[in-house]
C-alpha cells in the first residue's frame, strides 16, 4: 500500500493498494525520474501516527510518496 500527496492539487491525493503486475514485474517502488527516495521528514511525521509500519518516503516536484515496506499479503494468499 502507498500514499501520494500532491503539492498543488489535493484532489490528486490518493491511497493505493499495489499488487504484482506480470507485465512490468513486481518491483516497488519503481524508479521514477525526479523522485528522490529517502525524504525523512515525511516518513518521520507519518511514523509518529502509524508506528506499527516501516515507512519509506520520497519527494518530487509534484508531490510526496509514502509506502509501508513489507506490509501485506498477495491477494492470492
pLDDT for 41: 76
Bigger pLDDT: 26 or 14?
14
pLDDT in tens, 1-13: 778 889 899 999 9
pLDDT in tens, 18-73: 666 666 655 555 666 777 777 667 778 888 888 888 888 888 888 888 887 776 65
* Whether the bond into 17 is cis, omega within 30 of 0: no
- Backbone φ and ψ for 31, nearest 5 degrees, come out as -90, 90
pLDDT for 13: 93
pLDDT for 12: 92
Amino acid at each position: 500500500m502507498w500514499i501520494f500527496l500532491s503539492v498543488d492539487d489535493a484532489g490528486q491525493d490518493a491511497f493505493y493498494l499495489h499488487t504484482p503486475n506480470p507485465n512490468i514485474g513486481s518491483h516497488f517502488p519503481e524508479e521514477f525520474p525526479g523522485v528522490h527516495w529517502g525524504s525523512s521528514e515525511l516518513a518521520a511525521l507519518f511514523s509518529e501516527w502509524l508506528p506499527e509500519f516501516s515507512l519509506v518516503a520520497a519527494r518530487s516536484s509534484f508531490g510526496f510518496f509514502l509506502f509501508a515496506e513489507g506490509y501485506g499479503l498477495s491477494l492470492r494468499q
